[in-house]
Amino acid sequence: MPAVTLTLPANPDLAEIIARRDAELDELKAALAKSCAALEDAQKTVSGLQTYTATFERVVERSYNGVPLSKLFPQGEKLGWRGYVEWEDNPERKRVATEILDTKKFTPIPEFQFVPLPKTNPVLIGHRWKEYHVALGLKSIVDFSWETVLKEKPGMIHLLDFPYNGETPRSELIRSKITDNEWHFVRNHGGIPDLDEDAFELEIGGLVNTPAKVSMKDLKDPTKFPQAEVTVTLQCSGTRRIEQIQLYPGDGDELINAPWGEGAIGTAVYRGVPLKKVLKIACGGILPEAKHLEFIGADTYFKKNNVYNYAVSVPWRKVRQNEEVLLAWEMNGKPLPKIHGYPLRVVVTGYIGARSAKWVYKINALAEPSMGPVQAAEYLYYNQQVVSSSSAATSRSHHRR
């Protein structure tokens, strides 16, 4: 075969094209070199972050004195009860928790009282409370709480993301007499427990004739307990705190005081059983020396490095009014939302919201009001006339209800 010689037509632009390609090639090489350097930098950053994470994980201990935190502060003691740690029955557990918290430094609470509030939603971020939970290996509670907020309360004014405090926007507040579950305000002091109704039982003890355990199935059975439906306006004593803060900022309480406007108030129809009936039918009544009923909630409550379950009480003379103190599982015809106390909460008419304990799993009949800090130190009513400190009356000048 004869060799074929291809003769390209003379192209005056060819040299120029080749030169341009060469220049482009040089540019690409330079860009590649740059990318390689950037990649190297990124790899350094990643390995730096890995070291940081490792350090962080060492700082955020998973164990204490060799015992895993999940053993020290277990959430799985009762099957189907998540996000709940029993503190009140475990003084040793409380002591260890305090010991751990005492060794840590936490983010100070924001001094929002002294600066204009951010225009963000959530307005405030509860760094400190999240860190308390993380320090005890309870971060899953923080995560579950926010997931629940996004599911059950997406449109609220999120005053504080954790513990969750959500205010009803004014347009929803005035829409009708009853506020929809989705818009009813929320005031939490801790995380939201995740409890299965089928596994849930209410324990009643203290100064009763017969201590008892009642399942939700029995409690909801109208042939066993007479039901009542009550329309209740709950108001948190913090409502309109933003105005109070402007007059007197306070001197920095331990808990972040959510800057409530007028929306920490809401009305709903609750269905349940009067507590009086439950005490009578399940426990054969209370003993004569019982003067107060204490409610324990499944959430974890922090106060000055001490750990508790939420605890409050109301006097027997209130409970005796029958429908004024209700054990409720239904809100506006729907199952109680998780954020409002599912599967069971107390609803007390005519008292501050704080007495209406959510996620109530234990009731104790007591001779004195609850010693829980919410009852004994935080939500107090003072007489109109606060007498001078020299007066003998001062020591009992406040009353709890």
Would you count residue 166 as binding Mo ion (CB under 5 A)? no
Question: Please, are residues 207 and 357 in contact by the beta-carbon 8 Å criterion?
Answer: no
Which position among 184, 292, 362, 401 is part of the footprint of ligand MTE (CB under 6 A)? 184
Would you count residue 310 as binding ligand MTE (CB under 6 A)? yes
Least distance CB 311 / Mo ion (angstroms): 14
Show contacts with Mo ion in window 8-67 (CB under 5 A). Answer: none
Measured from the CB atom, the residue of 109 and 186 that comes closer to ligand MTE is 186
Tokens 């729907």 belong to residue: 334
d(CA 108, CA 256): 10
Between 311 and 350, how does the x/- string for binding to ligand MTE read (CB under 6 A)? -----------------------------x----------
CB atoms within 10 A of CB 33: 10
189 is in the binding site of which of ligand MTE, Mo ion, none (Cβ under 5 to 8 A by kind)?
ligand MTE
Would you count residue 185 as binding ligand MTE (CB under 6 A)? yes
Would you count residue 132 as binding ligand MTE (CB under 6 A)? no
**Amino acid residing at 363:** I
Would you count residue 293 as binding ligand MTE (CB under 6 A)? no
Q: Judging by DSSP bridges, how do beta strands 212-215 and 201-206 pair with one another?
A: antiparallel
d(CA 103, CA 320): 46
Which position among 124, 354, 363, 365 is part of the footprint of ligand MTE (CB under 6 A)? 354
d(CA 74, CA 83): 9
Least distance CB 353 / ligand MTE (angstroms): 2
Q: Residue 128 corresponds to which tokens in the numbers above?
A: 């400190």
Least distance CB 139 / ligand MTE (angstroms): 19
Short-list 315, 231, 311, CA closest to 275: 315
Would you count residue 257 as binding ligand MTE (CB under 6 A)? no
Only one of the segments 84-92, 232-240, 255-263, 287-295 lies at the binding site for Mo ion (rule: CB under 5 A); that segment is: 232-240
Measured from the CB atom, the residue of 148 and 356 that comes closer to ligand MTE is 356
Q: Tell me which H or E stretch contains 354.
A: none
**Amino acid residing at 179:** T
Sign for the CA dihedral angle at 331, 334, 338, 341 comes to positive
Which position among 158, 187, 241, 277 is part of the footprint of Mo ion (CB under 5 A)? 187
The number of residues that bind ligand MTE (CB under 6 A) is 19
Sort 202 into a burial class: Cβ within 10 Å, 0-12 / 13-18 / 19+.
buried
Measured from the CB atom, the residue of 64 and 192 that comes closer to ligand MTE is 192
DSSP 35-96: HHHHHHHHHHHHHHHHHHHHHHHHHS-SEETTEEHHHHS-S-SSTTEES----TT-HHHHHH
Q: Tell me which H or E stretch contains 292.
A: strand 292-303
Least distance CB 380 / Mo ion (angstroms): 13
Which position among 145, 349, 356, 375 is part of the footprint of ligand MTE (CB under 6 A)? 356
Measured from the CB atom, the residue of 75 and 349 that comes closer to Mo ion is 349
359 is in the binding site of which of ligand MTE, Mo ion, none (Cβ under 5 to 8 A by kind)?
ligand MTE
Least distance CB 157 / Mo ion (angstroms): 16
What's the distance, CA 68 to chain centroid?
24
Which position among 64, 87, 359, 361 is part of the footprint of ligand MTE (CB under 6 A)? 359
Helices (H) and strands (E) counted in the chain, each on its own, are 11, 19
Would you count residue 353 as binding Mo ion (CB under 5 A)? yes
Would you count residue 354 as binding Mo ion (CB under 5 A)? yes
Would you count residue 353 as binding ligand MTE (CB under 6 A)? yes
Least distance CB 186 / ligand MTE (angstroms): 4
Show contacts with ligand MTE in window 229-248 (CB under 6 A). Answer: 234, 236
Question: Please, are residues 315 and 292 in contact by the beta-carbon 8 Å criterion?
Answer: yes
Question: Please, are residues 298 and 309 in contact by the beta-carbon 8 Å criterion?
Answer: yes
Question: Which alpha helices (H) appear in 77-126, and where do they start and end?
Answer: 91-102
d(CA 314, CA 291): 9
Would you count residue 357 as binding ligand MTE (CB under 6 A)? yes
DSSP 239-269: TTHHHHHHH---S--SS------S-SEEEEE
Residues that bind ligand MTE (CB under 6 A): 184-190, 234, 236, 297, 299, 310, 340, 353-354, 356-359
Residues that bind Mo ion (CB under 5 A): 187, 236, 353-354
